[in-house]
């Protein structure tokens, strides 16, 4: 798909297009651009202090299920900045959170409470690595690419995971362009792979510290949806989009604190797992919608009804890798979060429970 514009058309010097990105009332992504005068000397200067250079903005919250029509203005605060892989140059993507005109966080602003917890845990230096699974689907029938359009079934799961070839790797172009775009944007994307079903892929973001994990995963999702949009496809994050003998989609979250990463930190990991076992239901409530369709005890999942952990087990709620146990320190993987989870909620819950840091006001998922 080529552009309607002449290749000679460029952005005026000193002008920046900033694409403001935020979350709507259903945890979907929204965005709109604005023209700004570039007042920062370098991208690094802007990245370290976006609120100094970028103005707050607003949108019609009655159109996003976040405000009534009689008082519809929602204000967005710039929080994290990334280079824009779509416009290039000095243009930027801006991750925002949402407030009332009076400065109160709106109910769907989960970032606000997450940031409060992360600030209290800053000396523990919490690291997160999130494995985001997703399906590339056709808009007309919501079926993944690789599933025949006549309604018949593709070959069973086997050859698709990290597969090669046109019969096995459906949608690689979108996956690869997303990878490149994230690296350009400054997202700490650490890898990708084909997953076990046709049209199912995964990318990993991290390790990120504290609130950066949520900001970066949401922006990586935004970039993924934009890349897929260009090629005429949608991204599906629901935890079990294909009924039958097919894996669902999760967002396995790897977590550690500084004490866990130090020699002997395995004891801190075991303590954290014990605390998680006591709050299984509270975590499940924050780990994504429709997760009961995925966490069945089959297809590399544990049952949603009970907590378990195991060494290198992909059938457990929490997995501790062989290297972590052998080294006596490292990290663990919470395998319960669904692909459609809000990373602000998941990372907040992990830090709150494992590090015993109270949440001032529990958000509604």
- Residue 305's pLDDT is 96
In this predicted structure, the answer to whether residue 3 has a pLDDT above a threshold of 90 is no
In this predicted structure, the answer to whether residue 2 has a pLDDT above a threshold of 80 is no
CATH code: domain 15-106 is 3.10.20.70
pLDDT tens for residues 273-287?
999 999 999 999 999
Task: Sketch the domain layout of the chain as residue ranges.
Answer: 15-106, 120-355
Q: What is the dihedral of CA 102, 103, 108, 112, to 10 degrees?
A: -160
pLDDT tens for residues 29-60?
999 999 999 999 999 999 999 999 999 999 99
- Residue 189's pLDDT is 98
- Residue 364's pLDDT is 86
- Residue 1's pLDDT is 61
User: Could you check whether 15-106 and 120-355 share the same CATH topology?
Assistant: no
- Residue 156's pLDDT is 94
Point out the least confidently predicted range of 7-11, 51-55, 347-351. 7-11
Which of the four CATH numbers 3.40.190.10, 3.30.70.2740, 3.30.590.10, 3.20.20.80 does domain 120-355 have? 3.30.590.10
- Residue 135's pLDDT is 98
Q: What is the dihedral of CA 289, 30, 346, 335, to 10 degrees?
A: 60
- Residue 165's pLDDT is 97
Confidence of residue 198 (pLDDT cuts 50, 70, 90): very high
User: Taking the model in full, what pTM does it have?
Assistant: 0.97
Stretch 317-337: mean pLDDT, rounded?
97
User: Count H helices, E strands: the chain?
Assistant: 10, 13
Q: Sign of dihedral through CA atoms 188, 193, 196, 197?
A: positive
* 245-273 residues labelled b (16+ CB within 10 A) or e (exposed): ebbbbbbbbbbbbebbbeeebbebbeebb
pLDDT tens for residues 76-108?
999 999 999 999 999 999 999 999 999 999 999
pLDDT tens for residues 135-164?
999 999 999 999 999 989 999 999 999 999
């Amino acid at each position: 798909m080529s552009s309607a514009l002449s290749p000679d058309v460029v952005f005026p010097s000193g002008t920046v297009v900033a694409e403001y990105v935020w979350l709507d009332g259903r945890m979907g992504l929204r965005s709109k651009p604005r023209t700004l005068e570039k007042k920062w000397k370098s991208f690094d200067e802007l990245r370290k202090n976006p609120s100094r250079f970028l103005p707050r903005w607003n949108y019609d919250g009655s159109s996003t299920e976040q405000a009534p029509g009689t008082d519809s203005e929602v204000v967005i605060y710039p929080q994290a900045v990334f280079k824009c892989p779509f416009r290039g140059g000095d243009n930027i993507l801006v991750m925002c959170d949402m407030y009332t005109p009076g400065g109160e966080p709106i109910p769907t602003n989960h970032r606000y409470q997450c940031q409060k917890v992360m600030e209290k845990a800053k000396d523990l230096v919490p690291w997160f690595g999130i494995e985001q699974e997703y399906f590339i689907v056709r808009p007309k029938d919501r079926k993944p690419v690789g599933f025949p359009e006549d309604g018949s079934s593709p070959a069973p799961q086997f050859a698709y995971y990290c597969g090669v070839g046109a019969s096995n790797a459906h949608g690689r172009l979108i996956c690869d362009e997303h990878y490149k775009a994230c690296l350009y944007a400054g997202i700490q994307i650490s890898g990708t792979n084909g997953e076990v079903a046709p049209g199912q892929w995964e990318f990993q973001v991290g390790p990120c510290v504290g609130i950066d994990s949520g900001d970066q995963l949401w922006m990586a999702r935004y970039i993924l949806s934009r890349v897929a949009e260009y090629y005429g496809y949608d991204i599906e994050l629901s935890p079990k989009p294909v009924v039958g003998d097919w894996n669902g989609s999760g967002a396995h979250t790897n977590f550690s604190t500084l004490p866990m990463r130090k020699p002997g930190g395995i004891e801190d990991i075991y303590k954290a797992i014990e605390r998680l076992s006591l709050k299984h239901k509270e975590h499940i409530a924050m780990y994504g919608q429709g997760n009961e369709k995925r966490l069945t005890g089959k297809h590399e999942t544990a049952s949603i009804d009970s907590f378990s952990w195991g060494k290198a087990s992909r059938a457990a709620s929490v997995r501790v890798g062989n290297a972590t146990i052998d080294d006596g320190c490292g990290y663990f993987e919470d395998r319960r979060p669904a692909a459609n989870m809000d990373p602000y909620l998941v990372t907040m819950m992990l830090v709150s429970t494992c590090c015993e840091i109270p949440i001032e006001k529990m958000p509604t998922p």
